[in-house]
C-alpha cells in the first residue's frame, strides 16, 4: 500500500522509525485520521487537523494521560505535537456483553478516582469548539456557567435554537440546584463519551478515545453514552452500579445531563439538536 510522503515523514521524525504504509480511516468530522504501519511491527493512528487551534492535540494527549492514570482503557500516546497526535492503533471488533460489563466496572473506578475540583486547570476543546473549564464551588454552578450557558449563547448566535427552546433551557438552568439530585464530589470524566468514542476492540476489551476530560458529575458521562445508543449499554450500566451505585433518580436526570452535548451538537450540526435541547429542558419545568 502506498504511503502519504508528507505525513509519513512527519511520523518518522516524531517516532524515529520508518513508515511502511498509510491508509485513511473513515469517520470523524473534526480530524483526519490515518492508519500507519511502522517498520518495527507496530500499527499507529495519526490524527491531524488543518489549522488546529493552539494546544488542540496536546490537550487531548493530556486528557488521555489523565484518564490512564486512573486506569481508564485508552490507547497509548506515542507522540504529540501542535499539528498531530499519534496513538497506538486499536483494532475494532464486536461489542460483547462481557466487554461492556468490564468497561462499566472500569468506568466506575475511573470516576471514583475523582478530580481536584469541577473543571480543569485550563480550557479545553469539545469537537471543533473551545470548552471553558476554570473552576466552580459546586456542580450546578459549574454546569450552568461552563457547560450549558456558553453553548446556549453560541447556538442562539448561530440561529441553531428557536427562541422558545432557548428560553426553556434558561429556565431549566435556573432550577439546576433544585433538580440536580444529591451533591457528589467531582468525578474524573472522559467528557465526550458518546458511543462513537468507545471502541470495542477485536481482542475483546473496550477503549475510550477522543476525550474532553475534566472534573464533573459522573452522571454526565453516563447520560452521554445513552445519547446515541451505545451497544450493550444496559449491561454496562448494570456492571457500573455493581461497583458504584448511582444516586436515586439518576434515570430521571439523564435529560438534564444531555443538555450540554445537545447544545454542543446544535452549535456544530444544526437546529434539530437545539429542538432536542429545548425538549429535554422542558422535562424539568413541570
Q: What is the structure's pLDDT at 4?
A: 56
Enter the pTM of the model: 0.94
Q: What's the number of domains the chain is made of? A: 2
CB 88 within 8 A of CB 94: no
Question: Which of 29, 53, 88 is the C-terminal boundary of a domain?
Answer: 88
Let me know whether 267 and 138 are in one domain: yes
Could you tell me the pLDDT band of residue 1, with boundaries at 50, 70 and 90? very low
User: pLDDT value at position 29?
Assistant: 76
Residues 103 and 210 in one domain: yes
| Domain boundary pick from 50, 65, 88 | 88
- Among 6-15, 145-154, 184-193, the minimum mean pLDDT is found in 6-15
Say whether pLDDT at 174 is over 90: yes
pLDDT in tens, 5-30: 689 999 999 999 999 999 999 877 78
Judgement on whether residues 76 and 107 belong to the same structural domain of the protein = no
Residue 3's pLDDT band (boundaries 50, 70, 90)?
low
pLDDT greater than 90 at residue 233:
yes
Task: Let me know whether 111 and 237 are in one domain.
Answer: yes
pLDDT at 100 (0 to 100): 96
- Point out the least confidently predicted range of 21-25, 239-243, 251-255: 21-25
Q: Are residues 118 and 260 in the same domain?
A: yes
Verify that 141 and 103 share a domain, yes or no.
yes
Tell me: do 51 and 157 sit in the same domain: no
Residues 61, 101, single domain; the answer is no
* Residues 203 and 77 both lie in one domain: no
**Domain containing 21 — which CATH number?**
3.30.200.20
Q: Answer yes or no: do 126 and 31 share one domain.
A: no
Q: How many CA atoms lie within 13 A of 104 on its CB side?
A: 24
Residue 57: domain span = 5-88
User: Is 192 noted as a catalytic residue in this protein?
Assistant: yes
Mean pLDDT, residues 86-105: 96
pLDDT at site 135: 82
Of 88, 115, 130, which residue is a domain's last? 88
Query: Residue 182, exposed/middle/buried by CB under 10 A (0-12, 13-18, 19+)?
Result: exposed
Length of the chain: 286
131 with 200, same domain: the answer is: yes
* CATH number of the domain residue 170 falls in: 3.90.1200.10
> Annotated catalytic residue: which of 168, 192, 210, 221?
192
Q: For residue 184, count CB atoms less than 10 angstroms from its CB and return exposed for 0-12, middle for 13-18, buried for 19 or more.
A: middle
The answer to whether 180 touches 256, Cβ cutoff 8 Å, is yes
Q: Is the pLDDT of residue 48 over 70?
A: yes
Q: What is the torsional sign of CA 128, 7, 58, 205?
A: positive
Q: Are residues 107 and 234 in the same domain?
A: yes
Amino acid at each position: 500500500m502506498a504511503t502519504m510522503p508528507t505525513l509519513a515523514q512527519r511520523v518518522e521524525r516524531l517516532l524515529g522509525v520508518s513508515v511502511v504504509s498509510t491508509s485513511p480511516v473513515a469517520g470523524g468530522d473534526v480530524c483526519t485520521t490515518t492508519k500507519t504501519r511502522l517498520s518495527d511491527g507496530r500499527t499507529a493512528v495519526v490524527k491531524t487537523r488543518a489549522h488546529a487551534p493552539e494546544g488542540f492535540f496536546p490537550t487531548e494527549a493530556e486528557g488521555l494521560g489523565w484518564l490512564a492514570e486512573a486506569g481508564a482503557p485508552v490507547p497509548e500516546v506515542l507522540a504529540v505535537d501542535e499539528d498531530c497526535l499519534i496513538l497506538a492503533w486499536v483494532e475494532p471488533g464486536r461489542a460483547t456483553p462481557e466487554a461492556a460489563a468490564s468497561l462499566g466496572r472500569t468506568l466506575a473506578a475511573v470516576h471514583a478516582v475523582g478530580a481536584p475540583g469541577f473543571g480543569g486547570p485550563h480550557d479545553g476543546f469539545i469537537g471543533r469548539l473551545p470548552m471553558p473549564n476554570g473552576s466552580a464551588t459546586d456542580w450546578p454552578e459549574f454546569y450552568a456557567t461552563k457547560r450549558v450557558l456558553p453553548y446556549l449563547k453560541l447556538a442562539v448566535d448561530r440561529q441553531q435554537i428557536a427562541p422558545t427552546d432557548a428560553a426553556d433551557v434558561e429556565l431549566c438552568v435556573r432550577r439546576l440546584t433544585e433538580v440536580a439530585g444529591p451533591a457528589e464530589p467531582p468525578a474524573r470524566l472522559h467528557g465526550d463519551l458518546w458511543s462513537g468514542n468507545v471502541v470495542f476492540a477485536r481482542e475483546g476489551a473496550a477503549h475510550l478515545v477522543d476525550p474532553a476530560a475534566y472534573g464533573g458529575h459522573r452522571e454526565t458521562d453516563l447520560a452521554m453514552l445513552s445519547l446515541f445508543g451505545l451497544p450493550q449499554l444496559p449491561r454496562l450500566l448494570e456492571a457500573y452500579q455493581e461497583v458504584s451505585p448511582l444516586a436515586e433518580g439518576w434515570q430521571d436526570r439523564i435529560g438534564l445531563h444531555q443538555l450540554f452535548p445537545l447544545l454542543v451538537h446544535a452549535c456544530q450540526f444544526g437546529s434539530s439538536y437545539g429542538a432536542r435541547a429545548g425538549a429535554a429542558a422542558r422535562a424539568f419545568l413541570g
